[in-house]
Amino acid sequence: MRAPRSVLKQQFLKKWMMGLQVFGSAKQSMSILERKKAIKLSADIALASTRAGRTCWSRTIIADASKDDDGKVLVQHLLSPESERLKKASTGLAMENKRVRCKKILKRSCCIKRVRKGASKVVLAKSISKRIVKRRTQVLKSLVPGGEFMDDISLIEETLDYMVSLRAQVDVMRRSLAKATEVVNGK
Amino acid sequence: MINRALLPAGGGENMLHCTDMTVLERQRARIKWQQEQQQQFQLQQQEISYFTELADVFHQAGVHEGGLSEVVTRSVKPDPGLVDNGWNNDHVVGYGVGLPYNNGLGFELNYGAISRTSSCPPEAVAAVAEATVKGSESVVSDMISSGAGRESSKKRKVDKIQNNSKVVAEEDTRDKRIKGCAEQGESKITEKNNNKNSRNNNTNKNNNSNKENSDETSKDNSKVSEVQKPDYIHVRARRGQATDSHSLAERVRREKISERMKYLQDLVPGCDKITGKAGMLDEIINYVQSLQRQVEFLSMKLAAANPRLDFNVDNLFAKEAFPACSINFPTIGMSSDMTNPAYLQFNPAQQQLVACCGLDMGIDPPDMALKRTTSAPVSIPETFLDSSCFTQTHPPPTWDADLQNLYNVAFDQGRQTSFQTQPFTGDVKLSCLFLSALY
């Protein structure tokens, strides 16, 4: 089980470093927060590129990142071999998401909630729990990038994959931080 | 395969003790027992190998990737002895590429989304269903092209099944055929999955309606199983349950969701005892939030530790583990603060930090702001604020940059000054923060 996890991590690390080099060469002095943004952005894009094209969240991240200049440079740099296809997929995704979102808004506006009178306790409890679940799925959708446009089933799958990738990302970043502080302390 | 040979024997023994049951019921019980065993075994295997394949999957994608709008799904296992009795509703989709695994169990996971390997029929079913939504033609063409490839493997498995099926010959098949259709309205690959299918009177009707469930009457408790074919998953109504197509589809959907929830349960730490969607969702949300916050925090720390964005990453994955990573964090944070005094400038107008940091970590911003503003001298280099928050659910501490937030808030008057921070420790309770501020 170790091997594929570290494969993922190594891939991520490599791409992350590539992305950071783009920044490193570009600007000389950056404020701490700019650096932080750069680090995080390159980490996110690197993470998304490890799953490039195959998961909705990765496509969403790439699509969002491509909207501004920094991100675009990074995306091109990191994903140059597959960038063409990905860009098309990302733009297509954006359009489709808008369509889905509009439909959902329309549906919601037309739907009339019927109030049940004299509902039994069991039914009431069920409806309450349903509401809770629905609210929490909405929160989850807001957390997972690109989650608002998916149905429940694919949402859960995306969450699975996203969680695994996030864990790998955290792990790699933590280790590199430890390394960096070691180096600094050693000096 | 060995397991399966053993199972009937073992199961049969138990069952034979009850002389009250009729032969039919006994067999049914035995099959259920079998099924459970297999399921447990399968699940274990899947849990173990889930992550192995999660990454593998993506490396082997090359063959089957078309211009699909795909959703990555879980690890995929090759289609083992097609659903030994065509029962289980779970199918792990197999590649036509010939992965090395073959656990010989007939359980597969049913995916609701398209996976890359559209060669796998259950996936393909879902893929087909999805195709109507997403309109990707290549799914269909892939399916068709790879359908041929799978023929041979299926025939092999059908033979195996035939051998085994004699044991359960009296049982009806539990087929689940969801009639999906490709957008281009074809892919009428209707293979006979098991010999049991032949015993059924079901014929695969090709129509272009999504998710039309066939309404078989069943005498026995039938569960749902998936057929190894691209188009149809017939759902059989359970005994004593409504048989209209809506509730059947609902049930299928619910089962899919609960199955995926189980995987999430394995992934999220500390979720063994939580049953029910609401609780699980809560845990999942907390976990994802904490991971995201950790990323934020770590990137901030990295920015603080490394003024020039150069990282030396040799030996990053050397086998000196970082076992007490969580424990070392405070000390590391402190030391980095001490040794990087002069490099860090502070940009006060940082709305995004404020926005992205955590919600409620127990510090009152106005108070802190007051403290800062009153006691802050001018133009002293500032080091990075450290804050760690130990949540009860997760062993590694959750870091967030809330205090950084506060700094921002405090110096938001547009001052470009930088301040040196000094270490002092607050008490570390469950939701306590580690401060280091030097004036």
CB-CB contact of A56 with B68 (8 Å): no
CB contact under 8 A, A157 and B71: yes
- Top mean pLDDT of B25-29, B117-121, B168-172 is at B25-29
CB contact under 8 A, B298 and A175: no
- B373/B287: higher pLDDT: B287
Question: Which residues of chain A are within 8 Å of residue B295 when distances are taken between CB atoms?
Answer: 40, 43-44, 166, 169-170, 173
What is the mean pLDDT of the segment spanning A32-58? 78
CB contact under 8 A, B288 and A4: no
pLDDT digits (tens, 9 = 90+) for B123-144: 444 444 444 444 444 444 444 4
Report the pLDDT value the prediction gives residue B380, as an integer from 0 to 100.
Answer: 41
Q: Tell me how crowded residue B405 is: count the other CB atoms within 10 A of its CB.
A: 23
**Closest chain A residue to B65, measured at CA:** A54
Report the pLDDT value the prediction gives residue B93, as an integer from 0 to 100.
Answer: 39
Question: Which residues of chain A are within 8 Å of residue B52 when distances are taken between CB atoms?
Answer: 1, 3-4
CB-CB contact of B51 with A5 (8 Å): yes
Report the pLDDT value the prediction gives residue A114, as an integer from 0 to 100.
Answer: 57
pLDDT digits (tens, 9 = 90+) for A120-136: 788 888 889 889 988 88
**What is the average pLDDT score of chain A?**
76
- Cα–Cα separations (whole angstroms), residue B342 to A38, B206, B380, B386: 21, 73, 8, 17
Nearest by CB to residue B339, choosing from A37, A43, A184, is A184
Distance CA B123, CA B81 (A): 16
CB-CB contact of B109 with B92 (8 Å): yes
- Lookup: tokens for B405: 């937030």
Which among A28, A47, A30, A49 is positioned nearest to A38, based on CA atoms?
A30
CB-CB contact of A89 with B69 (8 Å): yes
A87 falls in which pLDDT band (50, 70, 90)?
A: low
Residue B196 in this model has a pLDDT that exceeds 70? no
Q: Write down the H helix ranges in B166-276.
A: 195-199, 245-267
How far B41 CA lies from chain A's nearest CA (Å)? Answer: 17
In sequence order, the 6+-apart residues with CB closer than 8 A to the CB of B134 are A96, B69, B114
Question: Which residues of chain B are within 8 Å of residue A157 when distances are taken between CB atoms?
Answer: 71-74, 111-113, 260
Residue B363 in this model has a pLDDT that exceeds 50? no
Q: What is the ipTM score, two decimals? A: 0.85
Distance CA B51, CA B57 (A): 10
How far B344 CA lies from chain A's nearest CA (Å)? Answer: 6
- Top mean pLDDT of B84-93, B279-288, B317-326 is at B279-288
**Which of B116, B262, B313 should we substitute to test contact with A (largest number of A Cβ atoms within 10 Å)?**
B313
Residue A108 in this model has a pLDDT that exceeds 60? yes
Distance CA B159, CA B143 (A): 23
Residue B259 in this model has a pLDDT that exceeds 80? yes
- Top mean pLDDT of B36-45, B278-287, B306-315 is at B278-287
Q: Which of A153-167, B51-65, B178-192, B403-417 has the lowest mean pLDDT?
A: B178-192
CB contact under 8 A, B353 and A156: no
Is B59 exposed, middle or buried, given 0-12, 13-18 or 19+ CB atoms closer than 10 A?
exposed
Distance CA A91, CA B55 (A): 26
- B42/B90: higher pLDDT: B42
Residue B5 in this model has a pLDDT that exceeds 90? no
Residue A169 in this model has a pLDDT that exceeds 60? yes
Q: Tell me how crowded residue B85 is: count the other CB atoms within 10 A of its CB.
A: 25
How far A4 CA lies from chain B's nearest CA (Å)? Answer: 5
CA angle B362, B368, B370 (to 5 degrees): 150
What is the mean pLDDT of the segment spanning A87-104? 65
For every residue of chain A, DSSP letters joined together read -HHHHHHHHHHHHHHHHHHHHHHHHH-S---HHHHHHHHHHHHHHHHHHHTTTTSHHHHHHHHHHTTSHHHHHHHHHHTTTTHHHHHHHHHHHHHHHHHHHHHHHHHHHH--PPPPTT--HHHHHHHHHHHHHHHHHHHHHHHSTTGGGS-HHHHHHHHHHHHHHHHHHHHHHHHHHHHHHHHHHH-
Give yes or no for A12 touching B (CB within 8 A).
no
- Top mean pLDDT of A110-114, B77-81, B176-180, B254-258 is at B254-258
Q: Provide the pairing of β-strand B178-179 with B398-399.
A: unpaired
Nearest by CB to residue A6, choosing from B69, B264, B317, is B317
- Top mean pLDDT of A9-13, B16-20, B283-287 is at B283-287
Report the pLDDT value the prediction gives residue B289, as an integer from 0 to 100.
Answer: 93
Nearest by CB to residue A180, choosing from B278, B296, B306, is B306
3-state secondary structure at position B111? coil
- A70/A17: higher pLDDT: A17
How far A36 CA lies from chain B's nearest CA (Å)? Answer: 5
What is the mean pLDDT of the segment spanning B295-317? 72
Distance CA B439, CA B422 (A): 6
What is the mean pLDDT of the segment spanning B296-310? 78
pLDDT digits (tens, 9 = 90+) for B286-297: 999 999 999 998
Report the pLDDT value the prediction gives residue B291, as an integer from 0 to 100.
Answer: 92
CB-CB contact of B46 with B92 (8 Å): yes
**Which of B284, B338, B359 should we substitute to test contact with A (largest number of A Cβ atoms within 10 Å)?**
B284
| Percent of the residues in chain A that have a pLDDT greater than 70, as a whole number | 71
CB-CB contact of B230 with B189 (8 Å): yes
Give yes or no for A125 touching B (CB within 8 A).
no
What is the mean pLDDT of the segment spanning B225-251? 73
Report the pLDDT value the prediction gives residue B276, as an integer from 0 to 100.
Answer: 80
How far B418 CA lies from chain A's nearest CA (Å)? Answer: 11
A141-168 per-residue burial string, b: 16 or more CB within 10 A, e: under 16: bebbbbbebbebbbbbbbbbbbbbbbbb
Q: Provide the pairing of β-strand B398-399 with B212-213.
A: unpaired
CB-CB contact of A27 with B307 (8 Å): no
- Cα–Cα separations (whole angstroms), residue B57 to B52, B136, B419: 9, 21, 50
Which among B432, B326, B334 is positioned nearest to B383, based on CA atoms?
B334
Report the pLDDT value the prediction gives residue B178, as an integer from 0 to 100.
Answer: 37
Residue B27 in this model has a pLDDT that exceeds 90? no
